[in-house]
Amino acid sequence: MINKLRPKTKSKGVDIVKSSKVTHRINTIAFELLEKHPEGIRWSELLSKIKLTDPNLHPKTVNGCIWKLAERFPDKVYKPSKGLFRLLKYKSL
């Protein structure tokens, strides 16, 4: 009887793991794109190219990953100007 009254919920551990894999995939795609553009790439272009690479990704998740890219990876990515992302190894160019 008690089991019938409990709402069915997903395991939070599974959701976190799944989310982690998705954000990892988005970040990997972003780094691959930044590697191809040593001059840097604008936020809007990065967003559209990631969406083209994998249209199944949720747009808000992609947006959040790009928005936090320089914050999460300060040793790899920097923003030379507003909306422009560039790999740190190309800073001297």
Asked if residue 11 is part of any domain, the answer here is: no
Q: Does the structure show a pLDDT above 60 at 84?
A: yes
Residue 22 in domain: yes
Give how many domains the chain has, as a whole number.
1
Classify the C-alpha dihedral 73-74-77-79 as positive or negative: positive
Residue 55 sits in a domain of what CATH number?
1.10.10.10
pLDDT of residue 20: 60
Is 55 a member of any domain?
yes
Q: Phi, psi at residue 28, to the nearest 5°?
A: -60, -45
pLDDT computed for residue 14 by the predictor = 36
Domain that holds residue 56: 18-90
- Give the residue with greater pLDDT, 24 vs 1: 24
Quick: pLDDT tens for 6-64: 444 343 443 333 446 899 999 999 999 999 999 999 999 999 999 999 999 999 999 99
